Chain A
């Protein structure tokens, strides 16, 4: 077994995933170092979100290896997988807040299920988390009463509730106005700087990704076509990379 402290927190090797006849991921390999933020780019529907769901075990892979904090997660049972998930925060594309719970209850949900802290401490922790994303004024509001950008902030606070060392973002800025998108990007950058989190951000927002990511990965036809900082990607002679960067800018 790989030593947890020395191994990259996310190690994906030769991962395959198909839905029926459609191959989505075709032997993809990606290692993300501690404290590194990787932006995953690519056309819609090529399996970027699927990659995130395979990392957190929401979908089973067909073959290949996924190691989280040094632990192989393919083949884990539900209880073991839940232990791994407690170390991962996931921000969904539409935030996926529980619409029958208030903002405060949404953030408290993982805490009430996985920690034994008192009600007072839990409330305090929830306020801290919501304060860190600028949402501590909306505790009693229902998700339907706040904007999409606010929902993403609350989703981020919920993802941080169990103090994970890995964060996965599924298109965090999609559907937001440029100002709110920049604010979310700034939050990701702050998290990276303050908490030294390891993160994968699936995004179409190359401009935002340039700010918060250390490395970009371009997925095409089920595999990584190009990777590196934006400047390196821009040097690529591959027609798809040139076209993608041109159309995205």
Chain B
């Protein structure tokens, strides 16, 4: 049986180990943010300095934008249906059924559409960029590019980040549109209403300030997704296992930061546009 002195020593050593682990996590976290900051600064410098990689930018816009469109539209449509079904019952209970179009429009345009788009793109594009650049890193393709006197921060990272920034607001419009259509469809099956009337009722009290800031806040989501995924991909180490880790961490971190950024941006939008 341990004596008081030895159990005290044990407790102290446990506390020291805990403190060391905490410090290590903290240090790793700060280092990660520091390196991300340096990476973003380097990508920004590369992006603004000529020559511009327009061909690669258009190619990335196609991969990130056009190829994500069906998934984003489907996610938006599902959100519209769920919103319609859920709010339909609730509003009937409170005797406010006529407000259903407005609730769906407000909900989709102001929050559901942008966030769903951000998360879907974080999943599809984040994983894609993380895995692609990770694979290029471990097979020395990024080194080969640098050895060919081509800046990989400009050619690979800046084009992908910029394409994410440009495409997210457009994809949000697609998610909003399909959400509204399917929201109306789900509603009209239970309680027939023409699409025109649905839109008139829905948009009656919607202003541009309700629509523009939430749609364009997704450009920030695009910046986060592109920067985090490129950063995680370009710092990959350790062969195929490292590529898997890069893809996973790109999705997890970009999704997490999209949600956190949304909290800040919603507060900011409310402060600026009420």
User: Is A58 a contact partner of B150 (Cβ separation < 8 A)?
Assistant: no
B1 touches A (CB below 8 Å): no
Cα(A226)–Cα(B148), bound, Å: 32
B144 touches A (CB below 8 Å): yes
Which of A58, A97, A109 meets B143, CB within 8 Å? A58
B31 touches A (CB below 8 Å): no
B146 touches A (CB below 8 Å): yes
Stretch of A10-18, A80-88, A204-212 with 4 or more beta carbons under 8 angstroms from chain B: A80-88
User: Is B147 a contact partner of A58 (Cβ separation < 8 A)?
Assistant: yes
Chain B min CB distance to A143 (Å): 10
B151 touches A (CB below 8 Å): yes
Q: Chain B residue with minimal CB distance to A81?
A: B149
Given contacts A96-B139, A96-B141, A99-B139, contact A86 B146 (CB under 8 A): no
Residues of B within 8 Å of A83, CB to CB, are 149
A174 touches B (CB below 8 Å): no
Chain A min CB distance to B31 (Å): 15
User: Is B141 a contact partner of A86 (Cβ separation < 8 A)?
Assistant: no
Residues of A within 8 Å of B146, CB to CB, are 58, 85
> How would residues 216 to 241 of chain B score, 1 for a CB under 8 Å from any chain A CB and 0 otherwise?
00000000000000000000000000
Q: Which of B121-154 touch A at CB < 8 Å?
A: 132, 135-136, 139-141, 143-151
Residues of A within 8 Å of B139, CB to CB, are 94, 96, 99
Q: Which of A47-91 touch B at CB < 8 Å?
A: 53, 56, 58, 78, 82-83, 85-86, 88, 90
User: Is A113 a contact partner of B150 (Cβ separation < 8 A)?
Assistant: yes
User: Is A56 a contact partner of B147 (Cβ separation < 8 A)?
Assistant: yes
> How would residues 153 to 185 of chain A score, 1 for a CB under 8 Å from any chain B CB and 0 otherwise?
000001000100000000000000000000000
| Interface contact tally, CB-CB below 8 A | 54
Interface residues on A, range: 20 to 34
Residues of B within 8 Å of A94, CB to CB, are 139-140
User: Is B149 a contact partner of A93 (Cβ separation < 8 A)?
Assistant: no
A246 touches B (CB below 8 Å): no
User: Is B147 a contact partner of A85 (Cβ separation < 8 A)?
Assistant: yes
Residues of A within 8 Å of B150, CB to CB, are 82, 109-110, 113
Q: Which of B147-184 touch A at CB < 8 Å?
A: 147-151
Chain B min CB distance to A144 (Å): 11
Chain B min CB distance to A108 (Å): 11
Cα(A109)–Cα(B140), bound, Å: 16
Which of A82, A92, A113, A114 meets B144, CB within 8 Å? A92
Cα(A124)–Cα(B150), bound, Å: 22
Cα(A119)–Cα(B8), bound, Å: 78
Chain B min CB distance to A174 (Å): 13
Which of A82, A92, A100, A158 meets B149, CB within 8 Å? A82
Which residues of B are interface residues toward A (Cβ below 8 A)?
A: 132, 135-136, 139-141, 143-151
**Closest 7 pairs between A and B when the two form their complex, measured CB to CB:** A96-B144, A82-B149, A96-B140, A85-B149, A90-B147, A110-B148, A92-B140
Which residues of A are interface residues toward B (Cβ below 8 A)?
A: 53, 56, 58, 78, 82-83, 85-86, 88, 90, 92-94, 96-100, 109-110, 113-114, 158, 162
16 contacts between A and B (CB under 8 A): A53-B143, A78-B151, A85-B146, A85-B148, A85-B149, A92-B140, A92-B143, A96-B139, A96-B141, A96-B143, A97-B144, A98-B141, A98-B144, A99-B135, A109-B148, A110-B148
